[in-house]
Amino acid sequence: MSDDDLVVQRREGLYCPQGDFFIDAWRPVERAVITHAHADHSRRGHGHYLAAAAAEGVLRARLGEIDLQTLPYGEAILHQGVRVSFHPAGHVLGSAQVRLEHAGKVWVASGDYYLAGDHADPREDNATCAPFEPVRCHCFITESTFGLPIYRWQPQAELFASIDAWWRGNAEAGRASLLMGYSFGKAQRILAGVDRTIGPIFVHGAVEPLNRAYRAAGVDIPETPIATEVSDRTLFRRALIVAPPSVRGSTWTRRFGDYSDAFASGWMQLRGARRRRSVDRGFVLSDHADWPGLQRAIRETGAARVIVTHGYEAVMVRWLTEQGLEASAFETEYGDSDDDEPKAEADGGGDAS
C-alpha cells in the first residue's frame, strides 16, 4: 500500500483517507458509503449513509430510520476532493459499485456483484435489479465468494424449469413445496422466475417487506400473502412457499402438512452442502458471479491492480498474479449474511457436482 491509495484497510472497515469516509464499514463510523443492503455490508450505527437511490427502499426496510443520502446511478458528488459515484452491480436491488476518482486515479469498490461469463445471453442477468456495469479503473476491489473454477452457473431458463418441475410434481401429488432462500435477493429472484400458473404462492413474514420494496421500485414480483395469515390450509397442497433457511425444522413448517423442501443457493453445487442442509432438493441459484463471471468483470475494468476481498482470496490472488496483474487481498468481515455456507469442502477441488 502507498500513501496515495484511495482505499485502505482499517479496523472499522475499508477507508478512503482522501475523503475521510468508509465503504461498507463493519463497525460504527461517522460517514459510510454503502454498496448494498445485505447485513454484512450495511450495518446500523453509522452517523451518515450514502447509497445508490435504488437501494433506499430496501435499506430503510432493513435499517429503519437512518440519515440516508442517495445518488442515482452514474451521478457523482465531490467530497473533499474525491469524486464519488455509484454504478450497478447486478447483485440485489440497489446494489452498486463505488467509483472513486482523485488526482487522476480511479478506484472501484465492487461490494458483491453478479455477472455471467463471456458471450452470455442478456437473459442471464439478474432480472430483479439493474445489470452489472463494467467501470474502467486503475484498481478494482473484487469479491471472491465463488472464486474457484468449479463454480459455473447453469443457464437460468434451465434452473427455473427444474424448480417449476419440482413444484408442479408436488402440486399434482397434493404436497406443499417449501423453497428456502435468503429473504433479501434470493427470495425475489425465485418469485420473479417461477411459473406463477402452477399454484398459489405464499411467503414467510420476513420476505414480504422486501417484496414490497421491490414492487415499489418497479420490479415484477407477484403478490405474496404471508403463510401465517392463510386460513384455508388446503391451499398449501398446491402452493409454493418461499421462506428463509431459518425455518428448516421449525414449528413454523407444521402448518403445511405434507411438504417437500428445497434450498436455493450457489453452495448447492456441492453435494456435501446439500447433505448438510438435509433437504429434498438443492437448486444452484446465486446472486454472486461464478468463476467465469469474476474473470470477465475483472478483465472488463481494464485494471492493472486488483484487491480481493471475501471468499477464496488466496486462489484469486494467485490466478490474478499469473495473468500479470498486481494482486493482493483485504481482510474483511463480509460474507456472513447471504449465500453463507462453509466452503471447506470446495477448497483444493472439493466435492463438486
**Residue 85 pLDDT more than 90?**
yes
d(C-alpha 346, C-alpha 352), whole Å: 7
Give me the pLDDT at residue 344, please.
38
Instruction: Measure the CA–CA gap between 67 and 3, rounded to whole angstroms.
Output: 31
pTM above 0.85, yes or no: yes
pLDDT at 123 over 90: no
Comparing 117-121, 163-167, 175-179, the range with the smallest average pLDDT is 117-121
Residue 164 has pLDDT above 60, yes or no: yes
> The C-alpha cell of 292 is what?
467465469
pLDDT of residue 31: 98
Sheet strands (E) in the chain: 8-10, 13-16, 21-23, 31-33, 48-52, 68-71, 76-79, 82-88, 96-102, 105-109, 139-144, 176-180, 201-203, 240-243, 259-264, 281-283, 305-311, 326-329
* Residue among 140, 151, 109 nearest 286 (CA): 151
**Residue among 192, 244, 252, 245 nearest 227 (CA):** 252
Per-residue pLDDT, averaged over 229-251, amounts to 95
Alpha helix ranges (H) inside 53-133 = 56-63
| pLDDT recorded at residue 224 | 96
The tens digit of pLDDT for each residue in 127-150 reads 999 999 999 999 999 999 999 999
pLDDT band at 270 (very low <50, low <70, confident <90, very high): confident
Q: How far apart are CA 52 and CA 96, in angstroms?
A: 7
Closest alpha carbon to 182 in 291, 55, 37: 37
Cα-atom radius of gyration of the chain, to the nearest Å? 20
Average pLDDT, the chain: 92
- Assess whether pLDDT exceeds 70 at residue 343: no
Confidence of residue 271 (pLDDT cuts 50, 70, 90): low
Rounded mean pLDDT of 48-65? Answer: 96
Checking if the pLDDT of 275 tops 70, the result is: no
CA–centroid distance for 200 within its chain? 26
Query: Mean per-residue pLDDT for 157-172?
Result: 97
What pLDDT does 278 receive? 83
Q: Measured between alpha carbons, how far is residue 211 from residues 146, 234, 283 in Å?
A: 26, 24, 21
Tens digit of each residue's pLDDT (9 = 90 or more) over 291-317: 999 999 999 999 999 999 999 999 999
pLDDT on residue 269: 84
List pLDDT tens digits, range 182-237: 999 999 999 999 999 999 999 999 999 999 999 999 999 999 999 999 999 999 99
What is the average per-residue pLDDT within 247-251?
92
